[in-house]
Amino acid sequence: MSVVQYAVSGRVARITLNRPERGNGITRGLLTQLERAVERADLDPGVSVLLLSGNGKGFCGGYDLVQSAEGQGQLDGEADAPAGSPLDPEVMRANHDPSGVWDPTVDYAMMSRNVRAFMSLFHCGKPVVCKVHGFCVAGGTDMALCSDLLVIAADAKIGYPPARVWGSPTTSMWAYRLGTQRAKRLLFTGDSLSGAEAAEWGLAIEAPAASELDACVEALVSRIARMPVNQLRMMKLLVNQSLYAQGLHATQVLGTVFDGMARHTPEGYAFQGLAAREGFRAAVRDRDEGFGDLGPSTFKG
């Protein structure tokens, strides 16, 4: 079964993450299918707008890191990757083994490929609307923030907890979407926003009640779909130029390099060691329990 579903209704291409049993956790295979689906929609003259969503209890819980953190089994590289290449699962596994030698250039080659997949949403000539329910955390936020418009259920959760340990946002979109001070507020703590807070902060365009999320999104994409495709392409390209001019690519290079570094700090090794001994979920609980998973609205003073 495809881990990314693709369908077209009217002038809307619907791209749906389909690993609900794993919280739509990101794998190399999922990113490959995502990128292909985006290109398919971009090239289809009958499509005006893309709608990205996720099956199951939430949009996306981030990378599926159980294998890499626990140090068991192969990592999910490319099935046809040449032996010895950065996407060869054995190379990926060896490069993230704390007992071995870390090659940051191999790490960057692997993760920058993931960034290109995320950014296919940004580079797509047609608007991309991302619908979030339940949760959108860690690497899942890369997809949401690389989309053009974010509509999130008021009670959903969005944030980047790996800022606490073992991660750096590779697409580095937080400052561009929120401004520097609010981006720092989230990345200095790893705290998350509710959907309602995301709308208040300007990260989401709308935050309807969960029961109204589907209707709200359908109304938005149907309205966008009325526009001529050539106008949509021009308007998206025009607005995107401001982010290019602000140095988005250079920021993403740094964020991707830092992501590799974060997995190879003393704290990163300690996190992975705990995951290997007690499991990835135990390591995440240990990382987050001191923060109580508190969102910014908790801190009023």
pLDDT digits (tens, 9 = 90+) for 124-172: 999 999 999 999 999 999 999 999 999 999 999 999 999 999 999 999 9
What's the pLDDT tens digit per position in 70-89?
A: 665 556 776 667 888 877 77
pLDDT at site 100: 81
Cβ–Cβ under 8 Å, residues 56 and 23: yes
Rounded to whole angstroms, the Cα distance separating 198 from 131 reads: 13
Residue the block writes with tokens 């009958």 = 46
The runs of H, that is alpha helices, within the chain are 28-43, 66-70, 89-95, 104-123, 140-146, 174-178, 180-187, 195-200, 213-224, 229-245, 248-262, 266-278, 280-289
What is the identity of the amino acid at 203?
L
Domain enclosing residue 150, as ranges: 4-298
Q: What is the mean pLDDT of residues 58-68?
A: 87
Closest CA to 27 of 62, 54, 69: 62
- 211 φ, ψ to 5°? -70, -15
pLDDT at site 98: 75
pLDDT at site 299: 44
pLDDT band at residue 68 under the 50/70/90 scheme:
low
Q: What is the mean pLDDT of residues 57-62?
A: 97
Which of 271-275, 279-283, 288-292, 297-301 comes out lowest in average pLDDT? 297-301
pLDDT at site 71: 62
pLDDT at site 101: 87
Q: What is the mean pLDDT of residues 18-28?
A: 96
pLDDT band at residue 228 under the 50/70/90 scheme:
very high
* Residue 297 predicted with pLDDT over 90: no
Token pair listed for 9: 């209704």
For 174-199, give the DSSP string. HHHHH-HHHHHHHHTTT-EEEHHHHH
> What's the Cα-to-Cα distance from 127 to each of 16, 29, 71, rounded to whole Å?
16, 24, 39
Q: Residue 245: which CATH number?
A: 3.90.226.10
pLDDT at site 2: 95
Q: How many domains does the chain have?
A: 1
Average pLDDT, the chain: 92
Cα 99 to its chain centre, rounded Å, is 29
- Tell how many helices (H) and how many strands (E) occur in the chain: 13, 8
Rounded to whole angstroms, the Cα distance separating 249 from 205 reads: 24
* Region at 170 (left for phi over 0; alpha for psi -120 to 50; beta for the rest): alpha
Q: What is the mean pLDDT of residues 53-68?
A: 91
3-state secondary structure of 49: strand
Who contacts 234 (Cβ-Cβ below 8 Å, separation ≥6)? none
What's the pLDDT tens digit per position in 180-190?
A: 999 999 999 99
pLDDT at site 300: 36
* Residue 250 predicted with pLDDT over 90: yes
pLDDT at site 90: 74
pLDDT at site 296: 62
